[in-house]
Amino acid sequence: MQPDMPQISRFLLGWYDRNRRSFPWRAGAADAADPYRVWLSEIMLQQTGTATVAPYFVRFTTRWPDVHALAAAPADEVLREWAGLGYYARARNLHKCAALVSSQMKGEFPRDPDSLRELPGIGPYTAAAVAAIAFDQPGPVLDGNIERVLSRVLALAQPLKQSRPELRQASQALTACGRAGDTAQAMMDLGALICRPRAPD
């Protein structure tokens, strides 16, 4: 039998509304997301935990409040501010991407995953995540944590690797049920608070 996506969507969003985590890059429940901040946070979070990212995110956004400011910064200052986060190619691509969006896109990030995917430093995961969180566009938001969460929510018995096509489809379908950004963040929070890699509740 096929999973009841509307029902799972209601479960996810209901849980999220009561348990959502608060982060410097997250808009309040009623506020609109700032695409620049969503993008910056997702790049930082690619291989780095929330606790480590938080102070870096605050320093970056204080110093460079929007994509034009970041684009105008000298590359070596961006690298210096990034020092300690690791994977420095992310910082170089971050700056390239900011320059591109600032000069060629009037400072506005594309709204759809396929266009976002063209930008430096944005792969399949980040494209879907930014489109969902910043623009409420449905898409296959899927990283290692969401794979684990969805596999459990759907009660899949196969190893994650074999289930990936099904998990991608599920993430696409769930974000298409409405509130795409909150749905994506609900899966992330569930993965961090409840359905953890070890010692799951």
Partner DNA sequence: CTCCGGTCTA
Partner DNA sequence: TAGACCGGAG
CB atoms under 10 Å from CB of 18, counted, come to: 7
DSSP 35-89: HHHHHHHHHHTSSS-HHHHHHHHHHHHHH--SHHHHHHS-HHHHHHHHTTS--TH
| 165 touches DNA (CB under 7 A) | no
| Closer residue to DNA in complex, CB, 28/165 | 165
Q: Which one of the spans 19-27, 49-57, 165-173, 177-185 is the region binding DNA (CB under 7 A)?
A: 49-57
Q: In this chain, which of 15, 68, 93, 177 binds DNA, going by CB under 7 A?
A: 93
Out of 41, 46, 137, 183, the residue judged to bind DNA by CB under 7 A: 46
Q: How many residues bind DNA (CB under 7 A)?
A: 25
Give the closest residue to 73 by CA, choosing from 64, 82, 65.
Answer: 64
Rule CB under 7 A: choose which of 123, 158, 162, 193 binds DNA.
123
CA separation for the pair 132, 120 (Å, rounded): 19
122 binds DNA (CB under 7 A): yes
CB 150 to DNA: min, Å: 13
- Given the complex with DNA, which of 48 and 169 has the nearer CB atom? 48
42 is catalytic: yes
Catalogue the long-range contacts made by 22-31 (C-beta closer than 8 Å, 24 or more residues apart): 23/50, 23/54, 24/54, 24/57, 24/58, 24/61, 25/57, 26/185
The least CB distance from residue 147 to DNA, in Å, is: 8
- Give contact residues for DNA (rule: CB under 7 A): 46-49, 51-52, 84-89, 93, 120-127, 143-145, 198
